[in-house]
Chains A and B, each alone.
Chain A
């Protein structure tokens, strides 16, 4: 299948390994990946901070960039959620009905990585090998906006060599929340402290998730505390093989 790849601004700029892993994984599964270079950012930061009007060009850009592809994959439950739940809303508030319907149409063909693998490509065992103790944090937007359910866990359970351990209070927010972490830093840090305690309690070497944003937050806290736990995007685990 020919799959368009929306890398997200965060993975493109700060976490390229997650984006490269997504490409390698899909190519290993025999699919063709294209990266339209007119893409930039989904605009979620603007929308969620109260700048819907400023986000309109980004909504338009996403729709015009990905309209020509049957399927687009996003290695982020949060960006996929914004595209599916906010783009048409912003387009109808500040753009026009034509853009709103195009945004909704493109959004319906946009999938978060685990959704693409399980719902579209119908694969649970991607042939990965990852000999580490791993705990999975189901990020809020993956869970409650994009509603990926247990799809990431189903993929992880098939990974060879993995020691997958359950994260206590997994569904609790890590405290990132985009600009929330800057506008309410003390509250955000208090939430992060509890998340880190739970992660460390599992004895895992690696904390994984489907969003680089939450992983950046959690990883920033783990690094400051020298907790000895790394953050790794779901795609990087699924892309790992015995030869890599």
Chain B
């Protein structure tokens, strides 16, 4: 392992899935042309929004729960080193082994080494964002180990040699006929007469996965929570396939981002209410699996916990940016985001799409490597209102935009605008001179880039004959007859600079 030498480092390049190969506007342009994708996304996000809104409305103390969730997470970040050391001690006492991974490369090497030690050439996987983030599947495959995703949607993504496009519903961009085709092409032993009826598709996955569960001795999972006080890990899920992985194999390896630790069991009361209602729109998720180290004769007899940094300490070092680490991966912000709904998750280039991805990915990688993501938002604020732990995503986006290295032409234009706007006389003459619409042809249709981006789909307003400022000055020198007894207004004394 590397030695900590001072400033925390960001997630390394060349490994994992935090960076796209294109900017957001480039990727979004292609995604927007896919009508099928937009229909799927609109249907799925509208459905989840409706369900979630209904069950949230049942709780009179929802806003207090959000405040509590936010406060607990802020407290965790304020004492993260102590909590992690406490967690390490408790897990070790309970028979587990704790590993510290500074980045994706270290985590992948640790997990690959642990699987090799078992002699198995296959692992079953619980749906996990952390292992997607570090590209664990690719690392295992490179070492001759076959990872099998057991979450139905992750399995669809894996068999389709695809990438997840939603935190909670990774195959949200696929419809059932596409899923049928993927199964027919890639699922071992699938019935060639497979239809696209959802129960039939689920049954095919179930048959394949059951065989895999019963014949694989090593599982890899992520974790939703870890309780420092007791050394307990927790995974919440809907299908039960996670529980199969967490209970059947001999060896369980859990990869967890360091920000997932919670101080006490009591804190779960808050998060087990917030998470399912915000994510799947359920009052309670169907399966909650919790384990503490190793229990002789019951469940996996070898347990390893890999604590992953991969840029999180760098995020923590920014007092304004660190609230992105409050995220509990519910994806409520994706489901309410008008940009995500139209562009889909792949446009963000990272395993963390949507509003939270736009603030988390650039911080994990350093803003320079994801410079277009903080701009992938209209700052409409729907994400902030939906976030169960009250991450102020719009303010974070603005904060990160301020750290982006701007294009030279834009920098010059912004500086000129600020200069002019700080000089009222100059500003007023610029207003009069800027008959933009007139020099640019009818309603601005002849404008050059970047303004042509506007006029591709919209007209510019007609330029008024007189600015308000000039109207006001003129009115002051030729007062209108007052409509009420007292003279209504008078101009301010001019103090032009």
CB neighbours of B461 from chain A (8 A): 14-15, 216, 219-220
Whether B489 and A27, one on each chain, are in contact in the complex, defined by CB atoms closer than 8 angstroms, is yes
Question: Which A208-244 residues have C-beta < 8 A from chain B?
Answer: 216-217, 219-221, 223-224
Q: Let me know if B492 is at the binding interface, CB within 8 A.
A: yes
CB neighbours of A131 from chain B (8 A): none
Q: How far is the CB of A67 from chain B (nearest CB, A)?
A: 13
A4–B188 Cα distance when bound, in Å, is 73
Residue from A30, A39, A185, A220 having most chain B Cβ neighbours under 10 A:
A185
Q: How far is the CB of B146 from chain A (nearest CB, A)?
A: 38
Q: Let me know if A32 is at the binding interface, CB within 8 A.
A: yes
Q: What's the dominant secondary structure at chain A's contact region?
A: helix
A28–B431 Cα distance when bound, in Å, is 29
CB neighbours of B410 from chain A (8 A): 49
Whether A48 and B381, one on each chain, are in contact in the complex, defined by CB atoms closer than 8 angstroms, is no
Q: Let me know if B190 is at the binding interface, CB within 8 A.
A: no
Which residue from B453, B460, B495 sits with its C-beta under 8 Å from A38? B495
CB neighbours of A141 from chain B (8 A): 379, 381
CB neighbours of A86 from chain B (8 A): 398
Whether A7 and B489, one on each chain, are in contact in the complex, defined by CB atoms closer than 8 angstroms, is no
Q: How far is the CB of A116 from chain B (nearest CB, A)?
A: 16
With contacts A9-B421, A40-B424, A51-B414 taken as known, whether A224 is within 8 angstroms of B457 at the C-beta atoms is yes
The interface bits of chain B over 434-475 (1 if a CB of A lies within 8 angstroms of the residue's CB, else 0) are 100000000100000011011011111101101111011100
Q: How far is the CB of B23 from chain A (nearest CB, A)?
A: 10
Whether A144 and B342, one on each chain, are in contact in the complex, defined by CB atoms closer than 8 angstroms, is no
Q: Let me know if B401 is at the binding interface, CB within 8 A.
A: yes
Interface size on A, residues (CB 8 A): 76
A52–B401 Cα distance when bound, in Å, is 9
One of B24-32, B216-224, B254-262 contacting the partner: B24-32
Whether B489 and A34, one on each chain, are in contact in the complex, defined by CB atoms closer than 8 angstroms, is yes
Whether B376 and A192, one on each chain, are in contact in the complex, defined by CB atoms closer than 8 angstroms, is no
Residue on B with the closest CB to A39?
B424
CB neighbours of B463 from chain A (8 A): 14
Whether B469 and A7, one on each chain, are in contact in the complex, defined by CB atoms closer than 8 angstroms, is yes
Residue on A with the closest CB to B347?
A187
Which residue from A143, A173, A185 sits with its C-beta under 8 Å from B338? A173
A42–B309 Cα distance when bound, in Å, is 40
One of A54-62, A158-166, A199-207 contacting the partner: A54-62
With contacts A19-B468, A186-B32, A224-B457 taken as known, whether A173 is within 8 angstroms of B378 at the C-beta atoms is yes
The interface bits of chain B over 187-223 (1 if a CB of A lies within 8 angstroms of the residue's CB, else 0) are 0000000000000000000000000000000000000
- B: residues with CB less than 8 A from A are 24-25, 28-29, 32, 38, 338-339, 342-343, 372, 374-382, 384-385, 394-395, 398, 401-404, 406, 410, 414-415, 417-418, 421-422, 424, 427, 431, 434, 443, 450-451, 453-454, 456-461, 463-464, 466-469, 471-473, 483-484, 486, 488-492, 494-497
